Every structure is written in C-alpha cells, then in structure tokens.
Structure 1
Amino acid sequence: MKDTLRSGTTRSGRPESTAEHSWRLALMVLVFEKDLPGLDIPRLLKLCLVHDLGEAISGDVPAPSQTAEDDREERERRDFRSLCATLPQDIASELLALWNEYAAAETAEACLAKAFDKLETMLQHLLMPEGDVIFYEFNLHYGRDRTDWSPLTRQIREIIDGRTSERLGTMDRKLG
C-alpha cells in the first residue's frame, strides 16, 4: 500500500500513496468520533483500513477516471482475496467480510466509511499544488450520493465545496 500511488499529490507535489489515504481516512474517524454516536467505531476504523487493500496488487484507478463500466470492484475483490490467501482462514474470512461490508454499504459504518473516503479524497485534492483544474471541478460532483449520507458528512461536504469553489475562482482570476 505504501508503494501504490494515487492520482492525488501531497502539498509538495509528491504522489500520495494508498497507505497515506487510508491512514488519514482512519484519522478522520478519530477526529469526528464524538460526532458519531451509536456507531461501532472499532468496526468503522477496520473498514477504513481495509477498504483499499485490493489496490496493493492492481493499483488505484484515479477517482476522475472511474466509470460504471469499470470492473474495479470485482478486480479489487479478487486482489483482496489473493492478499488474504496466505492468512489463517479465520483472519482471512474476517477481513473479507469487512471488505464485502464496505463494498455493499449496507451498514451505517460502511456508509460512513464510504462518505469519509470521498471526503478525504476531496480534501487531498484541495491540498495539491494549484494547477490541475480537473480535480477541483471533479470535487464539486464527486460522491455526493455518499457524502449526503449523514448531516455530519453533508456539513463537511459543504465546507469542502466552498473551498473548492474558492480555489476555482482564484485560478480563474489568475488565468483571466
């Protein structure tokens, strides 16, 4: 995961790794834990940590390049199973159940993990050096079905959208 690079970059322009993304996603859960009453926080953290493990084999598909026709989920499931193949059966089964729970997004914890996953990606786009307008324009519509899941994630989304719009306005003024 440390060597699996994403399309986003750090502030310095270095490509971000999938491990960095997953770590910050889990950190977001910790930061907002008090705002998540009734949720199983240890389970939510586990979902955040395993959700992109399949990318360790086949790599990341940049969010702006993902399409409905892409077999990304099935490929990641296959890769995740491959990663778990050498583990003891009980551990492999537990990890696969977590991955499947995230993919299905049928529990509150999985829905929140998906919402925070989208928000983390959008935040990373805002931290990137200015220059690639596609990421900012993409942010304004990315994952809205997931980020609208709860009042908390909607509120965070509104803040990110505001900052994204400001960034686009700043870039337009510089280019104009």
Structure 2
Amino acid sequence: MKNIANFLFEVGMLKRTPRTGFQFLGSGAESVAEHSFRTAMIGYSLAQMDGNADVGRVLQLCLFHDIPEARIGDLNYVNKKYVKADEEKAVEDLARQLPFGADYRATLSEFMAKETHEAKLAHDADQLEMILALKEHKDLGNRYADEWYPFVLGRLATDVAKELSAVIWETDSSKWWFDSDAEWWVRGEK
C-alpha cells in the first residue's frame, strides 16, 4: 500500500509540473495534469467516433502517457533539441515499485511505439489537446498560434483526428457557452 500511496503522490506532482511550450507561444499556462485530463477526454471522443478502437485502452494510454514527466519534467520541442531525458529509466524505476508495474510498463511502451491503433489515437489526442489550446490562444489574439498549427497538424495520424482538427480550427472557442439569447445576458433570466 505504501508504494501505491507514493505513486498517487507522484501523479499529484503533475498538477505542479508546468507544460513548458507555452513560454514560447508567449501566452498561457497549464500543468501536465490539466493537459492529461483533456487529452483523456479527447482520446475517449476519438475512440468513440472511430468505432473500431478499444475505448478503455485509449483512455488508459492517454491518462498514463505523461506520468514520467513527474520525474523528468515537460520538455518542449526546443528543449528536446538540446536535452535528452531518460524517459525509459523513469518508467522502469516507477514500474519496479508498483504491483501493476508490468501493466504500467506495457502501457507506456505501447504509447511510445505508436504502432497499435489505440496508441495512434492516444497520440492524436495528445496533439489535438495542443490544437485546442492553440485555437483558444488564437481566439484571444495570439498571432503565433497560426504559425504553430500546421506543425501540430502534421503530427496527426488518423483520419478522425484530422477531421476533428479542421472543425476545431474553424470553431470559435467561446461559442460553446455564449449564445445569442440577449435577454439572458441582460437580465440573467429568461
């Protein structure tokens, strides 16, 4: 039980681990945990739309994909040009401590290999989370988001993710909550 408690504390570190790419975008901030949560929701959606994927496996891959960052931090694309993190060692060190270590190791191995259909969907979910963040920043006036979008788009592997990314990029990120019911916005009642 002690190892499980330690694992859960380690996962909690992701709430305090910043995603570092936003410093280059010039706006925004999010933790790895925030990123992982929305990635899981995207993965679930992609797997459901795909219809041929193991939805639970996609969710597991998405939820676990960035756990090593509690030990190695989040390395953005600029950092990765110069710094080599030993993600495999981070995975192995944690796996040895867990009663479900073999499953954890297999999950991260599958994600990193990008060979299974579920791993491709999980990777696409990871990239779509960035596309959503870029669109939110674009809608708030960050002109650099347009420059980043094609590079992130080029990382997508599945047709369902490519289709969704096009819709995301055309959709106003605030329209999900702000409708044209003027009476509500004036008086707060219908």
**TM bracket (short chain):** 0.7 to 0.9
Matched, 1:4 2:17: yes
Matched, 1:44 2:54: no
Matched, 1:114 2:128: no
Deviations 1:17-43 (A, max 9, x none): 111111111111333443121211111
Task: Give the residue type in structure 2 aligned to 1:77.
Answer: E
Partner of 1:85: 96
Partner of 2:149: 139
Q: Post-superposition shift, 1:62?
A: 2.2
* Structure 2 Cα separation of the partners of residues 135 and 59 of structure 1: 23
Q: Which moved more, 1:14-23 or 1:79-88?
A: 79-88
Larger radius of gyration: 2
Partner of 2:163: 155
Task: Give the residue type in structure 2 aligned to 1:56.
Answer: A
Q: Percent identity?
A: 29
* Structure 1 Cα separation of the partners of residues 65 and 30 of structure 2: 16
SS in 1 for 2:19: strand
Q: What's the Cα RMSD here?
A: 2.6
Partner of 2:43: 29
* Structure 2 Cα separation of the partners of residues 107 and 69 of structure 1: 29
* Structure 2 Cα separation of the partners of residues 110 and 53 of structure 1: 16
Deviations 1:128-176 (A, max 9, x none): 37465444311222251x31x2221111222345569xxxxxxxxxxxx
SS in 1 for 2:152: coil
* Structure 1 Cα separation of the partners of residues 143 and 80 of structure 2: 19
> Residue 53 and residue 112 in structure 1: after superposition, are their counterparts in 2 closer, same or farther (change >3 A)?
same
Equivalences, count: 154
Partner of 2:73: 59
Q: Post-superposition shift, 1:124?
A: 1.2
Q: Which runs of 5+ in 1 are unaligned?
A: 165-176
Partner of 2:5: none
TM-score, with structure 1 as normaliser: 0.74
SS in 1 for 2:30: strand
* Structure 1 Cα separation of the partners of residues 76 and 170 of structure 2: 23
User: Quick check: 2:46–2:161 contact (8 Å CA) kept in 1?
Assistant: no
More strand by share: 1
* Structure 2 Cα separation of the partners of residues 131 and 84 of structure 1: 43
User: Quick check: 1:58–1:76 contact (8 Å CA) kept in 2?
Assistant: yes
Matched, 1:101 2:110: yes
